[in-house]
Structure 1
Amino acid sequence: MKQWIGSAALCMNEEKKVLFVKNRDVQQWSLPSGGLEEGETPEQCCQREVFEETGYRISINQRLHIKRAIISSYQVETHYFLATCDERMATATIDSDIDEVNWWSIHEIERLELAFPEDLELIKRWSV
């Protein structure tokens, strides 16, 4: 079975809103995330993916969780990190597969069309 390893970031602002991205293809919201590139650690992947998808530079605060699943004959392992958004780069070019970047409260997230609904419990647990 093939393996896919990736990272996802739970970034919160001062108002306790969570950073989300909307994928252009599926029109669903998720935490900024993506797959490891050769030679990357999960932390480095997380920082790169958040920057590519949102334009934010982040600092990793702690590892939260590792989600394991089987999706389309892939063994998927996603490393979740709690992160702080340090600054948004005005010159950043957002990935073309990202339609929208937004900050949402927990109550707003509950009403969104989520790409990974199972992440909601994790977000609630760690965003208190």
Structure 2
Amino acid sequence: MKVTGVHVLLINSDNKFLLTQRKDVPLWVIPGGTVEKNEDPKKACERELFEETRVKAGRLILAAKYKVNNGVYKNLYIMRVPEFNIDVFIDKKEVKSYGWFTIENLPSPMSLYEISRVYDAVNFKGKMIERALSVNIKKEFLNQLKNPFIFLLLLASFVINRLTNKSFKL
């Protein structure tokens, strides 16, 4: 089983969670990124969290494993932080902004794909979720039509990735 992506949802004592806004396509996302060759997924999660927020990982709990295609997975971790607000220093190269949110107060714009993963993490009750996770491009584009600027950025990113044979990242 090959893990190619890792993400971690920090949850504070007020049950608010940390999301970051990407700089390339300004969608709100769970902090995380790519697992490097021969890197342990948990170590990759610690590295990505520190790179994007300067937060040192504490106890990471594997909340979900998402199968994205033939034997390739993405892991979602949660980490409880005791403080209401911890010191977060965002990586200005990758991250435009950050904030603490609740399920009732999600930021916009967010992809449907990302919202489903936030729900999985927030509703985690101790039993790891394992399921297929696919992006429905048509639904994602329709979801972003309410944000024309974001829609155009997503469309441009999708076309460029198709032309260069790269995978489309939400």
So what's the TM-score if we normalise by structure 2?
A: 0.60
Task: Indicate how the Cα distance of structure 1 residues 120 and 88 shifts in structure 2: closer, same or farther if over 3 A, else same.
Answer: closer
Equivalent position amino acid for 1:63 in 2: L
Q: What is the aligned partner in structure 1 of residue 59 from structure 2?
A: 60
Q: What is the aligned partner in structure 2 of residue 124 from structure 1?
A: 122
Instruction: Tell me which protein shows more helix as a share of its residues.
Output: 2
Measured on the aligned residues, the alpha-carbon RMSD in Å equals: 2.6
Identify the structure with bigger relative contact order (alpha carbons < 8 Å, sequence gap 6+).
Answer: 1
Q: What is the aligned partner in structure 2 of residue 98 from structure 1?
A: 95
Task: Indicate how the Cα distance of structure 1 residues 126 and 112 shifts in structure 2: closer, same or farther if over 3 A, else same.
Answer: farther
Q: SS at the partner of 2:66?
A: strand
Unaligned runs of 5+ in 2: 126-170
Q: What is the aligned partner in structure 2 of residue 83 from structure 1?
A: 79
Distance 2:105 2:50 in 1: 23
Unaligned runs of 5+ in 1: none
2:10/2:17 contact within 8 Å kept: yes
Tell me which stretches of 4 or more aligned residues in structure 1 moved more than 4 Å: none
Larger radius of gyration: 2
Deviation at 1:26, TM superposition (A): 1.2
Deviation at 1:7, TM superposition (A): 0.7
Q: What is the aligned partner in structure 1 of residue 167 from structure 2?
A: none
| Alignment of structure 1 residues 1-128 onto 2, 5 Å | 5-70=4-69, 76-85=72-81, 88=87, 94-109=91-106, 111-115=107-111, 116-126=114-124
1:10/1:123 contact within 8 Å kept: yes
Instruction: Tell me which protein shows more strand as a share of its residues.
Output: 1
Distance 2:59 2:77 in 1: 7
So what's the TM-score if we normalise by structure 1?
A: 0.77
Q: What are the Cα deviations for residues 25-68 of structure 1, in whole angstroms up to 9, with x where unaligned? A: 11111110101123321111111111111121121332111012
How many residue pairs were aligned?
Answer: 119
Distance 1:16 1:104 in 2: 9
1:5/1:36 contact within 8 Å kept: yes
Equivalent position amino acid for 2:104 in 1: H
2:90/2:98 contact within 8 Å kept: no
Task: Indicate how the Cα distance of structure 1 residues 9 and 82 shifts in structure 2: closer, same or farther if over 3 A, else same.
Answer: same
Task: Indicate how the Cα distance of structure 1 residues 95 and 76 shifts in structure 2: closer, same or farther if over 3 A, else same.
Answer: farther
